[in-house]
Amino acid sequence: MTERVDALVVGAGVVGLACARALARMGREVIILERHDAFGAETSARNSEVIHAGIYYPAGSLKARLCVSGREQLYAFCQEYGVNHRRCGKLIVATAPEQESKLAEIQERALRNGVGDMRRLSAAEAHALEPALSCRAALLSASTGIVDSHGLMLALLGDAERHGAVLALQSPMISAVAGRDGIEVEIGGASPMRVRASLLINSAGLSAPAMASRIDGLGSDKVPQSYLAKGNYFMLSGKSPFSRLVYPVPEPGGLGVHLTLDLGGQARFGPDVEWVDEIDYSVSPERGQRFYGAIRKYWPDLQDQALQPAYAGMRPKIVGPGEPDADFCIQGPADHGVPGLINLFGIESPGLTSCLAIADLVCENLLLHQ
């Protein structure tokens, strides 16, 4: 016998939990399917935990819009629900003469995205804020912060459950068939079953394209190719001399080796990005050697042997090496023709910052097509 449910959310990462919470608060019956034995076990547990301001993304893109609106929603949520966070700020630093003009370009892009609190600093002003820092000029982003990602997910799940949502661990989505009367989903695990859902939110992160390919009735041309970009991070042995995040002026292909902090003040450096064919969270100590030269451009006093392997994370890319970064892909019925289905593809950074705004957009999309 096939059970009926109003909404299924596939994936209990930060975005899936935010979507489940938003739907539950609307009065929808929600089950969250998670294949692992805990929530937030993949991308959401292996990131920098930065609350991004929304500086670098193309104006008008979903990443820019949802990051800027989601950032303020996230700060408010953390304040209301007691999630540990800090609006610590970030310095974007120019360490060479040719980089100084790029700071003005970054500030202009930030303004176009609605980030109006960026402030240009001289070398002396930046040094006064961070005495260990060496640079020619900098931008101060007051809106950037850090958050306890596990605490955030715990709060999202708790509020979703208070409104009736149910988390089903070790319950992978095996397949689905889209029909006129909803989407019938086969669920695996210890107690396999079939459930017919009016709404299906594919928020499976790294596995979102694979999940979409298992939906009979969704055209294969609507499922993007999946790529994996592995980011390796190293941590500083000992106490950090910095109280703010430090990012170099962006380089071709990325944001360079930047310094982030956790809420305990531990400094982390990364990412060293490599394209891989399979998920592998190991970090080779040898990769850290290439970090020293990049970091010493803005922190010349970094000592030899001060960096230790920390962790690696995987970004759910939908474009391959050498291609321009893709925007978030929030694919609804108007895009693929399947009623009640939302696919979330390529939800990488700033996905954590944007999670509440993404959830709102998902709900708006569903309401428009019911």
Instruction: Classify 3-46+150-225+325-368 by CATH class.
Output: alpha beta
Instruction: Classify 90-142+227-317 by CATH class.
Output: alpha beta
Give phi and psi for 85, each to the nearest 5. -160, 170
Instruction: Give the closest residue to 139 by CA, choosing from 124, 127, 121.
Output: 121
- The answer, yes or no, to whether residue 194 has pLDDT greater than 90, is yes
What length is written for the chain?
Answer: 370
Q: How confident is the model at residue 58 (pLDDT cuts 50, 70, 90)?
A: very high
- The answer, yes or no, to whether residue 370 has pLDDT greater than 80, is no
- % of the chain surpassing 70 pLDDT: 98
Facing residues of 177 across strands? 184, 216
- The answer, yes or no, to whether residue 134 has pLDDT greater than 70, is yes
Q: Has this prediction a pTM greater than 0.95?
A: yes
- The answer, yes or no, to whether residue 359 has pLDDT greater than 80, is yes
Residue range 242-288, pLDDT digits in tens = 999 999 998 765 668 999 999 999 999 998 889 999 999 999 999 98
**352-361: buried (b, 16+ CB within 10 Å) or exposed (e) per residue?**
bbbbbbbbbb
Instruction: Give the closest residue to 26 by CA, choosing from 328, 285, 360.
Output: 360
Distance CA 301, CA 237 (A): 14
Mean pLDDT of the chain: 95
Q: How confident is the model at residue 2 (pLDDT cuts 50, 70, 90)?
A: confident
Distance CA 269, CA 249 (A): 15
149-162 vs 351-368: helix axis angle to the nearest 10? 30
Are 61 and 327 in contact by the 8 Å Cβ rule? The answer is: yes
Q: Average of pLDDT values for 13-32? A: 98
- Residue 368's pLDDT is what? 73
Amino acid at 105: E
Q: Average of pLDDT values for 30-39? A: 98
C-alpha dihedral (243, 88, 82, 351), degrees to nearest 10: -120
**Which tokens sit at 307?**
């960096």
- The answer, yes or no, to whether residue 369 has pLDDT greater than 70, is no
Are 198 and 214 in contact by the 8 Å Cβ rule? The answer is: no
- Residue 367's pLDDT is what? 78
Q: How confident is the model at residue 6 (pLDDT cuts 50, 70, 90)?
A: very high
Helix (H) or strand (E) holding 334: helix 333-336
- Residue 180's pLDDT is what? 85
Spell out the residues 6+ positions from residue 226 whose beta carbon is closer than 8 angstroms to its own. Answer: 206, 208, 209, 210, 316, 317, 318
* Alpha carbons within 13 A on the beta-carbon side of 353: 27
- The answer, yes or no, to whether residue 1 has pLDDT greater than 70, is no
Q: Where are the domains of the chain?
A: 3-46+150-225+325-368, 90-142+227-317
- Residue 192's pLDDT is what? 94
Secondary structure of 75-110 in HEC code, one letter for each residue: HHHHHHHCCCEECCCEEEEECCHHHHHHHHHHHHHH
Spell out the residues 6+ positions from residue 21 whose beta carbon is closer than 8 angstroms to its own. Answer: 156, 157, 159, 160, 163, 165, 359
- The answer, yes or no, to whether residue 225 has pLDDT greater than 90, is yes
Q: Average of pLDDT values for 288-313? A: 95
- % of the chain surpassing 90 pLDDT: 92
What is the rounded end-to-end Cα distance, in angstroms, of the chain?
26
- Residue 193's pLDDT is what? 93
266: left (phi over 0), alpha (psi -120 to 50) or beta: beta
- The answer, yes or no, to whether residue 220 has pLDDT greater than 70, is yes
CB atoms within 10 A of CB 183: 23
